[in-house]
Amino acid sequence: MPAAEMPSEAAASSADAPASIADQQDREKDGTKKEESAGAADGAATATDTDGTVKVQVGSTYLCTRFSGEDSVVHPATVIQARTSLAGEDEYYVHFAELDRRLDTWVARDRLGERVILPAPRSDRKRRDRDSSSNLGVGAHVEADDASHRKRTRSDQLHEVTKVRNINRVQLGKHEIDCWYYSPYPEDFGKCDKLYICETTFKYFATRASFEAYQASRAGEEQRPPGEMIYRDPSRSICVYEIEGSREELFGENLCLFGKLFIEHKTLSFDPTPFFFYVLYEEDDEGLHPVGYFSKEKDSKENYNLACIVTLPPFQRKGYGKFIISLSYEVTKRRKEVGSPEKPLSDLGKLSYRTYWTYVLLEHLVALSDQDLNQLTLEALSLATGIKPEDILSTMQSLSLIYHLKGQYVIRIERAQIQDLLAPYKKRKFASSFCKPELLHLKDFSQTSAAPPSSSTPTQSDDAETTAPAPS
């Protein structure tokens, strides 16, 4: 069910600073539990019920009714922001503790119950203990702590801006899709409850009327994406277009903004020129319909072959995540390179890639002769599969196919062991969704124009987290 239409935002949240870590440590040492949420300062923004008897404090945590289908549960939720609806009712944007931020939502006052105090996350407590025990008299330690603090501060500032989802829904072709996360669309569009997105250009519109007028203006044009079609599989009715960001800057900007609605840990600039975009489409009698995409830096010093990956919600659990991952490696091998997804990976991304690497490595190993197995090296395995040596190393260690002996790694492979490990994948027809190499047609990489120099920050920050759909 699509989300109910929400009124535009009105009330702003407080700009008061959070309580310091030192204050929190003092409270913990004293063993006191003051009636305030960790991180919420005295004087934080509040909202009041119409009867004036109960106050809700931004930054505090309350028991909140959360709906899942026809069922409802009570779950701790932190109030992120308050506003007044067009009907004059108080509403609160809440984040449910320990749940994904895609579930954040606006709630009425009657869904908030008693106030609760949540314990600090274990990782935060360990970090505070580590920071407090560090020898800050050593200059190197001071410098390292300052750098770490600056990095956390940038991350916290970004989180403050992006923690409230600004767009609830998008209309993409016949699909009305609930958005998951914040995306930095221009302010006039970012206040819309629903955006209308063109399937071929990803241009965005605030009203159905303006979208339909745009479509009518293109009635005589060929309705196809920019770039080159590099893959087409008639048996699955899918195709892939490669779009070069430096040649199609507006398309790249629009695609990045759209993709950010479904990716939490990415920061964007408006410079798509250092990237290639590979967009996957389903095709039918009505035209092409975007399913997902991945982006890839043209010149990555770390040999990253994928910067971010998105499979849109209506098309998940159809094997498209595995298709996109396998396509990224086929592109890598065609370029005679080895590659790896941008790090760090999310937990879901680690699971997706580890299962892909496991299958590809086992499938390659089982096809080798006994002589080739005995002479196998990590470098040869990397060149054959396109997978970076460190990813091969971690995967083979998890499979007990490699071990450390006298300062070096030794590959230890038995054919029966490989067949046993591969059997569950074969039974599930794991590779049935993979890209078919014979259908991939890439232009000569040397003919691709180089990205113009840019002083802007990269589209993906060094704090970025790559996310990937779980294999299905």
**Residues carrying an active site annotation:** 342
Whether the CA torsion 368, 374, 375, 377 is positive or negative: it is positive
Q: 384-418: string of b/e by CB count within 10 Å (b at 16+)?
A: bbbbbbebbbebbeebebbeeeeeeeebebeeeeb
Copy the structure tokens of residue 159.
């989180």
Task: Give CA–CA dist 295/328, Å, rounded.
Answer: 9
Name the burial class of residue 128, with classes exposed (0-12), middle (13-18) and buried (19+) by CB atoms within 10 angstroms of its CB.
middle
Which residues does residue 143 pair with via DSSP β-bridges, in sequence order? none
Task: Give CA–CA dist 204/221, Å, rounded.
Answer: 18
Q: Which residue has the tokens 């779950």?
A: 75
- Paired sense of beta strands 308-311 and 287-297, if any: antiparallel
> 317's torsion region: left (phi>0), alpha (psi -120 to 50) or beta?
left
Task: Give CA–CA dist 457/268, Å, rounded.
Answer: 9
Q: Which of 317, 356, 319 is nearest to 340 (CA)?
A: 356
Task: Give CA–CA dist 66/154, Å, rounded.
Answer: 31
3-state secondary structure of 310: strand
Task: Give CA–CA dist 440/431, Å, rounded.
Answer: 16
Give me the DSSP letters along 186-226: -HHHHT-SEEEE-TTT--EESSHHHHHHHHHHTTTS----S
Sheet containing 105-108: order of strands: 105-108, 90-96, 71-84, 61-68, 112-116
Q: Which of 74, 72, 75, 66 is nearest to 105 (CA)?
A: 66
Task: Give CA–CA dist 471/429, Å, rounded.
Answer: 12
Task: Give CA–CA dist 89/384, Å, rounded.
Answer: 62
The torsion angles phi and psi of 415, rounded to 5 degrees, stand at: -60, -40
Amino acid code (one letter) for 229 = M
Provide the 10 A C-beta neighbour count for residue 106.
22
